[in-house]
Amino acid sequence: MVVPSLLEPLLHGTPMARRRAMAKAITLLESTRADHRAQGDALLTELLAHTGRALRLGISGVPGVGKSTFIEALGLYLIAQGLKVAVLAIDPSSTVSGGSILGDKTRMEQLASQEHAYIRPSPSSGTLGGVAEKTREAILVCEAAGYDVVIVETVGVGQSETAAHGMTDMFCVLQLPNAGDDLQAIKKGVMELADLVVVNKADIDPRAAIRTRTQITSSLRIMAMQGNPKHAQNDPQRWHPKVVTISALKGEGVQDFWAAVSEYRRLQSANGELAARRERQALAWMWERIDAGLRSAFRQHPAVRQLLPQLQADVVAGRIAASTAARNLLAAQAGQAPQAIR
Amino acid sequence: MVVPSLLEPLLHGTPMARRRAMAKAITLLESTRADHRAQGDALLTELLAHTGRALRLGISGVPGVGKSTFIEALGLYLIAQGLKVAVLAIDPSSTVSGGSILGDKTRMEQLASQEHAYIRPSPSSGTLGGVAEKTREAILVCEAAGYDVVIVETVGVGQSETAAHGMTDMFCVLQLPNAGDDLQAIKKGVMELADLVVVNKADIDPRAAIRTRTQITSSLRIMAMQGNPKHAQNDPQRWHPKVVTISALKGEGVQDFWAAVSEYRRLQSANGELAARRERQALAWMWERIDAGLRSAFRQHPAVRQLLPQLQADVVAGRIAASTAARNLLAAQAGQAPQAIR
């Protein structure tokens, strides 16, 4: 059994032993072998009682916005406060290229050398759903190992931001101080996900940074007026999304950022929203994995495999309605005779 | 057999007989009874050879933007050109309230009284996926009955716009001439779906209308620069999303609107994009219905029904990882013993 040999150092080991056990546990959870998966599930179930105490922090932003520099500055700041910091990643490009935003060894060099930091690159295979699941499970490993802050980093591309939002307590979006970038984030609905917007590189053009901050603040206010519950105003018991300006390169603003995060955590813990968010996330995660499993079993069913190519061709050619084809395939999987379709 | 009795008047009847047969056919397709469903599938398969020649036009916009007035003006204009016009609707609120954006009998009175117009309210029960399926099938009925333009109307709320975009050849978004509304559309990703943006009520404040048009045009250009393939510039063989200003109430701009639609259809037919879009839509529709069917069968499986409440409670309480619960439920449905989870 691999599980007890991992559990002991993970929960009670020296910092070094913990990090080694974490790496092994996450590798086990990333494995697609059935026996590893069963061991992984057993390990997760053991770990669960020791999870849930960390702050799960999502940090997103387009390439070039300065995520690595910011996360390194933040990580070093938090370690100086006596906290332990883990950095995980969701990188959709890594599923295609095998590369990863965190694969580059030169990134976050200073943070990586800290005893109380753990940095793990994005799982580099499978669908986004699969990558997201592995990252969710890795969060639990980090928490059980006693890490206080688990940062989930993601690039501002595709659905990875929704995935990162769906597994963190607080979702922060890094922005450059220019309007085009602002519009891009609004367009993609990222702004709607943001609990905190961070305007980075404020040192380069302080006036543009202030203008961007004003623009985003007004966007957030319009969203609030338009009834997004996250932005409901005039309730001092609730967190209202904010904008902070920083210069990660100069190390300026990290303290302000952390003050905002701490205020968020205090308010949302007191009003119960943090616990409610985690419950929603856990159930959504369960159903997402169920849907993925159902789809996978469906595609592998012999009767479906036999019928699918012809039915897909018929649908594309307009010889059968898509809904009729779907019903016939579902009936075939269920072992029923396909409906008479002449 | 109900099918031949519907097929004959639908394909060859007088305008009045066709409309009566269309109403009956769509009601049959909306039924959830298994025997009706089998008849409906048989009917659809018969109709398919007669479908595909209409232009499927999606029209979206928030309440108050003037959709009904615009669609009525457009419908009357098209009928005056000798075309037949059908108006369907996807209204998510109707699934909750049983009411419908098109349920109000006083809407589009003039258009409704035309011999060559057919107006059908939104299916008023089921999930959005179910409502969308019924609307897709109703499009096929309208096409088989010889309608030249099928308009799918939807309110600018939730996922109904994505559904309408997924079943039409061209998706138009109505906007009011003010910046807040513009921002709202950008935020929700609707702008990204739009093939044509229509600024309505241009008569009320012509300067605001021009300002809005400029803003949206610049938004579309930024999207183009940021690599959305729909907005790829500098290719005269491709359609590029445009903005037109109209005053539906005064009947101004409908001709410009239709000129843009015709140009869209000409370009996208010639470059093959229209056919490719329909193929993508049909396959996506098939998989959406398969996923819905799989989820429904899963929820009804006896072993799942027995295990689900406890496992959901365990997931919410953090006693079991969501991914482990998902795997156990999938194994239960497959008739396998649940994995040992201690």
Q: Which residue has the higher pLDDT, B191 or A41?
A: A41
Q: What is the spatial distance between Cα A242 and Cα A191, in angstroms, rounded to a whole number?
A: 11
Q: What is the spatial distance between Cα B257 and Cα B248, in angstroms, rounded to a whole number?
A: 11
A46-60, B27-41, B206-220, B259-273: least confidently modelled range: B206-220
Q: What is the spatial distance between Cα B14 and Cα B33, in angstroms, rounded to a whole number?
A: 30
Q: pLDDT tens-digit profile of A332-341?
A: 998 875 544 4
Count Cβ atoms within 10 A of the Cβ of residue A22 and give its class: 0-12 exposed, 13-18 middle, 19 or more buried. Answer: buried
- The answer to whether the beta carbons of residues B43 and B28 sit under 8 Å apart is yes
Q: Calculate how close chain A gets to B133, using CA atoms only, in Å.
A: 7
CB contact set of B15 (below 8 Å; sequence gap of 6+): B115, B116
**Nearest CA among A218, A163, A161, A211 for reference residue A190:** A161
- The answer to whether the beta carbons of residues A99 and A93 sit under 8 Å apart is yes
A165-169, A309-313, B155-159, B195-199: least confidently modelled range: B155-159
Please name the member of B38, B222, B326 whose beta carbon is closest to the beta carbon of A290: B326
Q: What is the spatial distance between Cα A196 and Cα A188, in angstroms, rounded to a whole number?
A: 16
Count Cβ atoms within 10 A of the Cβ of residue B51 and give its class: 0-12 exposed, 13-18 middle, 19 or more buried. Answer: middle
CB contact set of B135 (below 8 Å; sequence gap of 6+): B88, B89, B90, B122, B123, B152, B163, B167
- Which residue shows structure tokens 């300067």? B207
What pLDDT, on the 0 to 100 scale, is given for residue B98?
A: 44
Q: Is the pLDDT of residue B67 over 50?
A: yes
Q: How many CA atoms lie within 13 A of A269 on its CB side?
A: 10
Cβ separation A37–B327 shorter than 8 A: yes
List phi, psi (to 5°) of A162.
-60, -40
Q: How far is CA B88 from the centre of its chain?
A: 9
Q: Is the pLDDT of residue A177 over 50?
A: yes
**Residue of B323, B324, B342 to mutate for A, most A C-beta atoms under 10 A:** B323
B176: three-class secondary structure by DSSP: coil
Q: How distant, in Å, are the alpha carbons of B128, B161, B177 from that of B158?
A: 10, 7, 22
Provide mean pLDDT across the span B89-110. 61
Provide mean pLDDT across the span B215-243. 72
Q: What is the spatial distance between Cα B49 and Cα B52, in angstroms, rounded to a whole number?
A: 8
**How much of chain B, in percent, has pLDDT values that exceed 90?**
54
Provide mean pLDDT across the span A74-85. 97
Q: Which residue has the higher pLDDT, A210 or B263?
A: B263
Q: Is the pLDDT of residue A225 over 80?
A: no
Q: Which residue has the higher pLDDT, B32 or B53?
A: B53
* Length of chain B in terms of residues written: 342
Percentages (nearest 5) of helix, strand, coil residues in chain B: 60, 10, 30
Q: Is the pLDDT of residue A199 over 80?
A: yes
Q: What is the spatial distance between Cα B221 and Cα B5, in angstroms, rounded to a whole number?
A: 52
Q: Give me the residue spans of the domains in chain B.
A: 1-49, 51-271
pTM as predicted: 0.77
List phi, psi (to 5°) of A205.
-145, 85
Q: Is the pLDDT of residue B92 over 80?
A: no
Cβ separation B187–A184 shorter than 8 A: no
Provide mean pLDDT across the span B136-161. 90
Cβ separation A290–B298 shorter than 8 A: yes
Q: How far is CA B114 from the centre of its chain?
A: 24
Q: What ipTM did this prediction achieve?
A: 0.81
Provide mean pLDDT across the span B120-146. 86
A56: three-class secondary structure by DSSP: strand
Q: How distant, in Å, are the alpha carbons of A267, B173, B256 from that of B242?
A: 45, 11, 12
Please name the member of B140, B186, B291 whose beta carbon is closest to the beta carbon of A291: B291
Domain spanning B1-49: which CATH class is it, in words? mainly alpha
Q: Any idea what DSSP says for residue B193?
A: H
**Nearest CA among B100, B108, B122, B99 for reference residue B68:** B108
Q: What is the spatial distance between Cα B340 and Cα B268, in angstroms, rounded to a whole number?
A: 56
Q: What is the spatial distance between Cα A131 and Cα A129, in angstroms, rounded to a whole number?
A: 6
What pLDDT, on the 0 to 100 scale, is given for residue A105?
A: 45
**Nearest CA among A107, A78, A90 for reference residue A160:** A90
Q: Which residues from A are below 8 Å from B141, CB to CB?
A: none
Please name the member of B226, B327, B329 whose beta carbon is closest to the beta carbon of A184: B226
What pLDDT, on the 0 to 100 scale, is given for residue A227?
A: 52
Six-digit token string for B112: 């409704």
Cβ separation B44–A319 shorter than 8 A: no
Q: pLDDT tens-digit profile of A95-153?
A: 444 444 544 545 788 999 999 999 998 876 667 777 888 999 999 999 999 999 999 99
Q: How many CA atoms lie within 13 A of A26 on its CB side?
A: 30
**How much of chain A, in percent, has pLDDT values that exceed 70?**
84
Helical segments of chain A, H only: 3-12, 15-30, 34-47, 67-80, 92-97, 109-112, 128-144, 160-165, 179-187, 190-193, 206-225, 254-270, 273-300, 302-316, 322-333
Q: What is the spatial distance between Cα B134 and Cα B122, in angstroms, rounded to a whole number?
A: 9
Provide mean pLDDT across the span B298-318. 95
Six-digit token string for A340: 């008479």
What pLDDT, on the 0 to 100 scale, is given for residue B340?
A: 43
Provide mean pLDDT across the span B251-274. 94
List phi, psi (to 5°) of B90.
-120, 115
| Three-point CA angle A311, B292, B310, nearest 5° | 140
- In this structure, the number of other CB atoms found within 10 A of the CB of residue A99 comes to 14
Q: pLDDT tens-digit profile of A261-277?
A: 999 999 999 999 999 99
What pLDDT, on the 0 to 100 scale, is given for residue A208?
A: 84
What pLDDT, on the 0 to 100 scale, is given for residue A340?
A: 43
Q: Is the pLDDT of residue B338 over 60?
A: no
Cβ separation A323–B286 shorter than 8 A: yes
Q: Is the pLDDT of residue A228 over 60?
A: no
Provide mean pLDDT across the span B90-119. 70
Q: Any idea what DSSP says for residue B147?
A: -
Six-digit token string for B126: 């089921």
> How many CB pairs below 8 Å do chains A and B form together?
177
Tell me if chain B has a CB within 8 Å of the CB of A44.
yes
Q: Is the pLDDT of residue A195 over 90?
A: yes
Q: Strand A85-90 to strand A149-155: parallel, antiparallel, or no bridges (unpaired)?
A: parallel
Q: How distant, in Å, are the alpha carbons of A68, A96, A152, A156, A274 from that of A56?
A: 17, 26, 7, 18, 11
- The answer to whether the beta carbons of residues B169 and B203 sit under 8 Å apart is no
What pLDDT, on the 0 to 100 scale, is given for residue A222?
A: 67
What pLDDT, on the 0 to 100 scale, is given for residue A234?
A: 67
**Nearest CA among A28, A331, A38 for reference residue B336:** A38
- In this structure, the number of other CB atoms found within 10 A of the CB of residue B267 comes to 17
Tell me if chain B has a CB within 8 Å of the CB of A341.
yes
Average pLDDT, chain A: 85
Q: How far is CA A6 from the centre of its chain?
A: 25
Q: Calculate how close chain A gets to B259, using CA atoms only, in Å.
A: 28
Band of residue B291 on the pLDDT scale cut at 50, 70, 90: very high
Q: Which residues from B are below 8 Å from A183, CB to CB?
A: 186, 219, 222
Q: pLDDT tens-digit profile of A14-31?
A: 999 999 999 999 999 999
CB contact set of B10 (below 8 Å; sequence gap of 6+): B18, B21, B22, B25, B47, B141, B144, B145
CATH 3.40.50.300 is right for the domain spanning A51-271: yes
Provide mean pLDDT across the span B226-240. 68
Provide mean pLDDT across the span A48-57. 94
Q: pLDDT tens-digit profile of B162-188?
A: 889 999 999 999 988 875 555 555 555
Tell me if chain A has a CB within 8 Å of the CB of B101.
no
What pLDDT, on the 0 to 100 scale, is given for residue B205?
A: 83
Q: What is the spatial distance between Cα A68 and Cα A155, in angstroms, rounded to a whole number?
A: 11
